[in-house]
Amino acid sequence: MKAVILVGGEATRLQPLTCNTPKAIVPVLNTPFLEHVIRHLSRHQVKDIILAQGHLAQPIEGYLGNGSQFGVRLYYSIEDAPLGTGGAVKNAERYLDETFLMLNGDIITDLDITAMVDFHRERKAKVTIATTPVDDPTSYGLIETDAQGRITRFLEKPSQDEITTNMINAGTYVLEPDILTYIPPQVKFSIEHELFALLPSRGIPTYSYQYFTYWIDVGTPEKYLQLHRDLLSGKSSQYTLTTGKEILIGEQCDIHSTAQIKGPVVIGANCSIERRVKLTGPVVIGDGCTILEDSVIEDSIIWRNARLGPRVRLKNAILADNCCFNAGSSSEGAVLGDNVTVASNCKLEPGSQIWPGTTVEAKT
């Protein structure tokens, strides 16, 4: 099998984390997001993967290379200008000469890809769309089906009085290559709004593959933090690195004997955690971080090379690379882009979003 992963978006909803870092390599449990997706595909014998990309393309290729370290072959399809979800896959058409998968590049899921492909082939479908239930479908695309699972209607972002089902488009598709003839070349085109919407009226065999295992759209900082909570608590069978209250500590770390660590906690390599620091999971700390004495970190994600001074307090926070909290500063629910400095004794407003390179001064 081949797969196309859409990784070309600007990920504006995930800013300020993605101002300088493409969503595809935003760390999840200290591993780039896309690596989790690729390894999941590889476990289902998907070995040829095309990355449809545009925004911040070079860092992705620089990290992933040809894919050999993951047991796959990676190809890169670059857009000169944004082409939308349909235009992006059309731009990769030269690689697609057989049944293929298409995935939105912001989904983590336990979907059984092998079973979905089997379902697609058994029904001789042209398009099969993975669908999953959610509590509130108003932010997604509803999919109505008949008793055999054939799709009869698409409804994007319905109002409450339009909801007829809680099954939504889960962002993974199995497609036959001839379906690409319906997409014009080098034109911005939405596969969800423009292609899928016309399929039922054309009589093209289009099916829903329903599944009820783990699924999350990591589109916002809140969802990004929730993903880590879910993985560290074992809600996803595919990506869980810890079980229960396990604590994972990377190589060459210096952790003082008086530090208190309550899992689940993942600590990267070359970190220094000093006297009386308290870490209460779920917490993930990236490589090269320093946390000085009497700091308290709870339910937070910290990327690489952060420096937290003494008596820092963080809760429900996300810090990108190279952030610095000086002595006595604190935050609840803040999201910091890379290279942010917070002055001593500065208390960030709850839910603050701080853009890269900013220095936040204490209020007087």
Query: How much of the chain, in percent, has pLDDT values that exceed 70?
Result: 96
Least confident window among 163-172, 249-258, 279-288: 163-172
Residue 60: is its pLDDT beyond 90?
no
Mean pLDDT of the chain: 92
Q: Is residue 106 part of a domain?
A: yes
Determine the average pLDDT of the residues in 165-176: 93
Q: Which of 192-206, 209-223, 305-319 has the lowest mean pLDDT?
A: 192-206
Q: Which residue has the tokens 């939405």?
A: 190
Mean pLDDT computed over 173-200: 91
Distance set, CA 11 to CA 6, 84, 96, 304, 336 (Å) = 12, 13, 26, 20, 15
Residue 210 lies in a domain: yes
Where residue 54 falls among pLDDT bands split at 50, 70, 90? confident
19: domain range?
2-232
176 domain residue, yes or no: yes
- Confidence band (pLDDT; 50, 70, 90) for 364? very low
Res 269 pLDDT > 60: yes
Q: What is the pLDDT of residue 356?
A: 97
pLDDT of residue 308: 98
Catalytic residue among 23, 47, 126, 157: 157
pLDDT for the residue numbered 240: 59
For residue 345, what is the domain's CATH number?
2.160.10.10
- Would 239 be classed as within a structural domain? no
- Same domain assignment for residues 135 and 22: yes
Looking at the structure, tell me whether residues 125 and 217 fall in a common domain. yes
Is 220 among the domain residues? yes
User: Are 43 and 191 part of one and the same domain?
Assistant: yes
Scored b (16 or more CB within 10 A) or e, 133-144 reads ebeebeebbbbe
- Condensed to tens digits (0 to 9), the pLDDT of residues 109-167 reads 999 999 999 999 999 999 999 999 998 888 787 888 998 899 988 887 778 888 888 89
Return the pLDDT at 128: 97
Read off the pLDDT of each residue in 14-27 and give the average, rounded to a whole number: 92
Q: Please say if 278 is a catalytic residue.
A: no
Task: Compute the average pLDDT of residues 310-322.
Answer: 98
